[in-house]
Amino acid sequence: MDKEIQNNVIEVSTISKAFGGLRALENCSLNIQAGSITGLIGPNGSGKTTLFNAITGYERIDSGDIRFQGKSIAQSKPEQIFKLGIGRTFQLTRIFPKLTVLENMHVAVQRQGKGNMFSSWSAAHERRKALELLDFVGITKHKDLLAGNLSYGQRKLLEFAFILIADPKIILLDEPAGGVNPTMILYLADRIRELHQQGLTFLIVEHNMEFVMNLCQQVAVMHQGNIIAQGTGAEVRSNPAVLDAYLGGGLE
Ligand SMILES: Nc1ncnc2c1ncn2[C@@H]1O[C@H](COP(=O)(O)OP(=O)(O)OP(=O)(O)O)[C@@H](O)[C@H]1O
């Protein structure tokens, strides 16, 4: 295996996905370097969420291949992919609103295949880890609150903690800053930086350009189901194809 392949934690190779006659992904390729924070941007409907769904097993691709650490995951199911170490959040969070914050974390442990659904939360260290993660994302004081009563931003933080319990190697965040207040956005960016320093890789879909440009070393731009540019924020900002894709509006 050459060095470049070893350094790519995820390799998306010429994948296509159509919904009826609509080609959401068309020969789309993207490599994600281990230890990077990559932003994935593009106009509405350009295929970002479909690409996320393909990588995480929520959408079966029509052709092409997706490899994680060199092994194909194109036929794997979401739970298998999650257990391999690919965590993701959703545009609209998928936490359990009628469970408390801590109970949600308990579900995250079960999802990992640890513990027993019907046992009390006997593994003390799992509980400790859950509390540590709630502390890390700054919502410990809400641990006994029903998750449905959290603010939108706090739900996103809970979902973040939820996936961290699985010790993922790469985290895919779908619009983490969308609908979140500016203070919480800065807080979230700091948490991402901290995890990045610990070795985690991030792929982040986000419309908030300031967030992307401040946080991401690499930015990939999607347009009509394909990656049309990849580079540093400054590079993609001045790329004519990117400016065209945003219809001259620029990336503000
Ligand atoms: N399940 C589906 N069935 C039919 N069409 C779909 C489905 N999912 C996505 N599409 C279509 O595929 C295209 C790509 O959508 P996708 O949600 O991946 O774009 P996006 O870049 O994430 O957009 P946004 O920034 O608005 O979230 C769009 O035209 C969308 O309408």
Domain residue limits, the chain:
1-85+169-185+200-252, 86-167
Which residue's alpha carbon is at the smallest distance from atom 23 of ligand 1?
A: 45
86-167 has the same fold as 1-85+169-185+200-252: yes
Please tell me if the CB atom of residue 46 comes closer than 6 angstroms to any atom of ligand 1: yes
Please tell me if the CB atom of residue 208 comes closer than 6 angstroms to any atom of ligand 1: no
Predicted local confidence at residue 89, as pLDDT: 87
| pTM, rounded to two decimals | 0.89
Contacts of residue 168, defined as CB under 8 A and 6 or more positions apart, other chains included, come to: 82, 85, 86, 87, 200
Please tell me if the CB atom of residue 247 comes closer than 6 angstroms to any atom of ligand 1: no
Which residue's alpha carbon is at the smallest distance from atom 24 of ligand 1?
A: 44
**Residues 72, 78, 82, 83, CA torsion sign:** negative
The whole-number average pLDDT for the span 127-146 is: 93
Class for domain 1-85+169-185+200-252, per CATH?
alpha beta
pLDDT averaged over every residue in the chain: 89
pLDDT class for 91, splitting at 50, 70, 90?
A: confident
Ligand 1 pocket, mutate which of 40, 48, 50, 58 (most atoms under 8 A from CB): 50
For the chain, the first-to-last Cα distance in angstroms comes to 40
The CATH architecture of the domain made up of 86-167 is: 3-Layer(aba) Sandwich (3.40)
Predicted local confidence at residue 37, as pLDDT: 97
Contact 109, 116 (CB under 8 A): no
Rounded Cα–Cα distance for residues 126 and 138 (Å): 18
Q: Report the candidate in 211, 169, 139 with the shortest Cα–Cα distance to residue 32.
A: 169
Predicted local confidence at residue 136, as pLDDT: 93
The whole-number average pLDDT for the span 154-176 is: 91
pLDDT class for 5, splitting at 50, 70, 90?
A: very low
Please tell me if the CB atom of residue 24 comes closer than 6 angstroms to any atom of ligand 1: yes
Where are any strands of DSSP class E within the chain?
8-19, 22-33, 37-41, 63-68, 71-72, 86-88, 170-174, 201-205, 218-223, 226-231
Each residue's pLDDT tens digit, 182-195? 998 999 999 999 99
Question: Which contacts qualify for 191-200: CB closer than 8 Å, 24 or more apart?
Answer: 191/136, 191/137, 191/160, 192/37, 195/164, 195/171, 196/35, 196/37, 199/35, 200/168, 200/169, 200/170, 200/171
Please tell me if the CB atom of residue 19 comes closer than 6 angstroms to any atom of ligand 1: yes
Which residue's alpha carbon is at the smallest distance from atom 5 of ligand 1?
A: 19
Which residue's alpha carbon is at the smallest distance from atom 12 of ligand 1?
A: 24
